[in-house]
């Protein structure tokens, strides 16, 4: 993703960020698009459900 716009979802502010304004411990990402970052929590929920189903 070098040279490309990257996006993060900030867990502290519940917002999408286009730069590294909040510390990494408070962010999910990076995501390649703003839309992907907007759905970060949904993506995490789905992955957790899949992993739980494997147990």
**Per-domain residue ranges of the chain:** 7-54
pLDDT greater than 90 at residue 3: no
- Report yes or no on whether pTM surpasses 0.75: yes
CA 28 to chain centre: 3
Task: Dump pLDDT digits (tens) for 34-52.
Answer: 999 999 999 999 999 999 9
Residue 21's pLDDT is what? Answer: 83
Residue 4's pLDDT is what? Answer: 81
Name the nearest CA neighbour of 10 among 25, 1, 2. 25
Task: Dump pLDDT digits (tens) for 13-39.
Answer: 999 999 778 999 999 999 999 999 999
Q: Are strands 27-31 and 15-17 parallel, antiparallel or unpaired?
A: unpaired
* Residue 39 to residue 29: CA distance in whole angstroms: 11
Of residues 5 and 48, the one with the higher pLDDT is 48
* Residue 10 to residue 22: CA distance in whole angstroms: 7
Tell me how many degrees the CA angle 31-45-29 measures, rounded to the nearest 5.
20
């Amino acid at each position: 993703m070098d040279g490309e716009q990257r996006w993060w979802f900030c867990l502290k502010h519940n917002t999408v960020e286009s730069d590294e304004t909040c510390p990494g411990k408070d962010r999910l990402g990076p995501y390649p698009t703003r839309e992907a970052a907007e759905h970060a929590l949904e993506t995490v929920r789905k992955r957790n459900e899949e992993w739980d189903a494997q147990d």
